[in-house]
């Protein structure tokens, strides 16, 4: 057998080295865990950003749809305004036509009165101092 001291010494140094190695191993494990957690956090952060961007995109799409609806309503309103203007023009023309019809009726009345006046002018008249019966008899013939 050999000297027990060197063996003890070796045995004593060994536990310190082992402790150091164990501590390094534990630190390495902790560092690995921290790296994993950091990667997981990065993934979660990326997912969160993607979700936020997706929500923003959805909001933009909704606003775009609303804008399209507003544009359609604006076009419809423009069409209604044009139709309203056309209707106003038609109403004005209708009023003008009514005025022309009234004037035409008045003209017809004037023409009728003129014809009646012409007929009266063509009838024989009794002159002052003339013989009414003579004139009346001439009408009978």
Residue 24 lies in a domain: yes
Helix (H, G, I), strand (E, B) or coil at 84: helix
Give the C-alpha separation, 25 to 129, whole Å.
158
Task: Flag whether 76 is in a domain.
Answer: yes
The pLDDT tens digits of the residues spanning 55-68 come to: 999 999 999 999 99
**What CA–CA distance (Å, rounded) separates 26 from 32?**
10
Residue 105 is assigned to a structural domain of this protein:
yes
pLDDT at 116: 85
Q: How many domains does the chain have?
A: 1
Instruction: Kindly indicate the confidence band of residue 9, based on its pLDDT and cuts at 50, 70 and 90.
Output: very low
Work out the pLDDT band at 125, boundaries 50, 70, 90. low
Check pLDDT > 60 for residue 72: yes
The mean per-residue pLDDT over the stretch 65-88 comes to 96
**Do 122 and 108 form a contact (C-beta atoms < 8 A)?**
no
Tell whether 133 is covered by a domain: no
């Amino acid at each position: 057998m050999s000297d027990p001291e060197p063996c003890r010494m070796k045995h004593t140094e060994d536990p310190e080295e082992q402790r150091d190695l164990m501590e390094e191993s534990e630190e390495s494990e902790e560092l690995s865990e921290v790296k994993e957690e950091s990667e997981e956090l990065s993934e979660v952060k990326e997912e969160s950003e993607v979700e936020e961007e997706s929500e923003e995109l959805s909001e933009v799409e909704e606003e775009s749809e609303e804008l399209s609806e507003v544009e359609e309503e604006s076009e419809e309103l423009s069409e209604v305004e044009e139709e309203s203007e056309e209707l106003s023009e038609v109403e004005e023309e209708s009023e003008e036509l009514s005025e022309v019809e009234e004037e035409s009726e008045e003209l017809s009345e004037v023409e009728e009165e003129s014809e009646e006046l012409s007929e009266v002018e063509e009838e024989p008249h009794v002159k002052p101092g003339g013989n009414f019966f003579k004139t009346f008899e001439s009408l009978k013939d």
